[in-house]
Amino acid sequence: MTLELAGWQHTYSGKVRDLYRPTDGDDDDDDVMLVVASDRVSAYDHVLEPGIPGKGALLTTLSRWWFDRLPVANHLVEPQSLPTEVADRAMLVRALEMFPVECVVRGYLSGSGWVEYQKSRSVCGVALPEGLKDGDRLPEPIYTPAFKAELGEHDENISYERTIEIVGPDVAAELRRLSLEIFTAASTIAEAHGLILADTKFEFGRDAGGTIRLADEVLTSDSSRYWDEEAWLSGHRGQSFDKQIVRDWLKGHWDGNGTPPQLPAEIVERTSARYAELLDRLTD
Ligand code: ATP
Ligand code: MG
């Protein structure tokens, strides 16, 4: 069941967000859209029960905080006039023509990148030096795009050459340039707060005037892996500020078949606290 919002018509629900268009939609060029972040949490491409209370608001606050600080055009429409019911977890944005590319940047070796590195000494086709360990910093951040799959399908890692086929050489180059630029700027800001930005995913779209804009959520715990710098330096590299707690619990309590089990209250609370801690740390 999607929330009814006066003046807005629900058009799409992803695993985490619900999108709305104005009901009195005229055909002016600056078409707008309401992106409402829910408390839903997904892991291994499944939406889990129950949600994480406050997650939608936390992630929305975090995205806004980052949009304010990043040196690139974004999709926010100002001033924001939001339905009061969802004001803390909604963003009024320009409806963009989205590029079906997830612009992943990795500054450190982790997760699927680490798994792949052990087999091939490369990540998504990018060759890396020998002898790196799980959690190591890469010589420089690498761009490893993925094809954005339709709802219910898995995103698929693709080569840079493949992104050229999908969006053309100019856009492909611009998405890579912007992604690396934003990642570097964000890493510097995160480090000033004792946080390491290990990797993240951006999405971009084009507005009616042809400008490429940073869209979706940005640098949140759902789209990024942050680590505590002190813990990392002392060799404790396991715990991030994302849904690792949920993933770890699920791994131990579910074989991956059928519907995942309900998350226990303790896991929900710890995840919620971890998401809140990231926001506190960054914005203190
Ligand atoms: P999944 O359920 O697989 O996560 P999803 O990532 O598509 O799918 P959500 O992230 O929950 O789902 O929903 C947000 C959707 O809104 C995404 O499809 C995203 O590409 C899209 N989106 C974000 N910003 C804009 C924008 N400014 N204009 C148009 N679409 C946007
Ligand atoms: Mg998404």
pLDDT tens digits for 90-124? 999 999 999 999 999 999 999 999 999 999 999 99
Which residue is closest in CA terms to ligand 1's atom 31? 216
CA pair distance 114, 160, nearest whole angstrom: 20
**Which residues form ligand 1's pocket by a CB distance below 6 Å?**
14-17, 19, 33, 35, 75, 93-96, 98, 151, 203, 205, 215-216
Which residue is closest in CA terms to ligand 1's atom 6? 14
Query: Ligand 2 centre from 242 Cα, in Å?
Result: 15
Tell me what pLDDT residue 239 has: 83
Query: Ligand 1 centre from 15 Cα, in Å?
Result: 9
Query: Ligand 2 centre from 164 Cα, in Å?
Result: 22
Point out the residues of the chain with pLDDT beneath 70.
Answer: 25-30, 151-152
Prediction pTM value: 0.95
Mutational pocket test of ligand 1: of 15, 17, 39, the residue with most ligand atoms within 8 Å of the beta carbon: 17
Tell me what pLDDT residue 26 has: 63
